[in-house]
Amino acid sequence: MTVRLLIADDQELIRTGFRLFLGTQEDMEVVGEAADGHEALTQAAALRPDVVLMDIRMPRMDGVEATARLTAAGPPSPRVLILTTYDLDEYVFGALRAGASGFLLKDAPRARLLEAIRVVHGGEALLSPSITRRLIEDYAGRAAPLRPRPEPPAGLTPREREILLLVARGMSNPEIAAHLVVTEATVKSHIGSVFAKLHLRDRAQAVVFAYENGLVVPGSSP
């Protein structure tokens, strides 16, 4: 299956570089480019890409607003992979909150870019445990933490709530499995159930949901 890509970045040289490189991949096709968020929305509606490589800082409409509008349109909306210069860009959390499936540094190795596109296209979130922790800590430093809510979200079992908390604290599936003394397959099954019940697209949205609903407090231990 060929992954249809849209590149949204206000720097023409960056768009050209991505297009030339990605065009060499047999399973990828760059179907369009956009110089700002407005163009990204127009191109996405016309071209129906599978994945949008979205810069954050662009004129007229930034990547956060464009991402929010793309994902709000509902399925079959494209997956959004945020491209950023700094791994703690002040807009990164906002982009994830808006529905992005992950983010990648612009100076990442080529192999990492290809992996990221395939991961996001496959329905997973590109959000490593270390980045999850740093995002939560960064956000907590700029906003008042929400009060923990003792009751589980409606419909979640105690075990599902426990796993949601561990995901939100930045633990990977193997780490969760070791912590709970269960198999990774069991963890994956519970995570899938949590996503379905809470209508979450991926791990990134789970982190945002848990933090904004006061289910996790930055700095607390699992």
Same domain for 154 and 114:
no
> For residue 26, what pLDDT is reported?
93
Give the residue among 64, 38, 36, 70 at the shortest CA–CA distance from 51.
Answer: 70
Query: 167 and 69: one domain?
Result: no
Residues 158 and 115 in one domain: no
Q: Which strand (E) or helix (H) includes residue 4?
A: strand 3-8
Q: Are residues 12 and 122 in the same domain?
A: yes
Helix ranges (DSSP H) in the chain? 12-22, 37-47, 63-72, 92-97, 110-121, 129-142, 158-168, 173-180, 184-198, 203-212
Same domain, 122 and 157: no
Query: Rounded distance, CA 121 to CA 80, Å?
Result: 9
59 shares its domain with 93: yes
By residue range, what is the domain housing residue 166?
A: 148-212
Within a domain: residue 49?
Answer: yes
Instruction: Find the farthest-apart pair of alpha carbons in the chain and give their distance in angstroms, rounded.
Output: 51
Please, are residues 30 and 7 in contact by the beta-carbon 8 Å criterion?
A: yes
Could you give the CA distance from residue 54 to residue 102 in angstroms, rounded to a whole number? 10
pLDDT computed for residue 129 by the predictor: 54
pLDDT at 148: 47
141 falls within a domain: no
Residue type, 131: I
CATH number at residue 187: 1.10.10.10
pLDDT of residue 94: 77
In a shared domain, residues 13 and 119: yes
Is the same domain home to 157 and 120? Answer: no
Q: Based on the number of CB atoms within 10 Å of its own CB, is 20 exposed (0-12), middle (13-18) or buried (19 or more)?
A: exposed
Co-location of 197 and 103 in the same domain: no
* Average pLDDT of adjacent 10-residue blocks, the chain of 222 residues: 95 94 95 96 95 92 92 82 73 77 84 89 68 60 49 78 86 88 92 89 78 67 50
Question: For the chain, what is the domain count?
Answer: 2
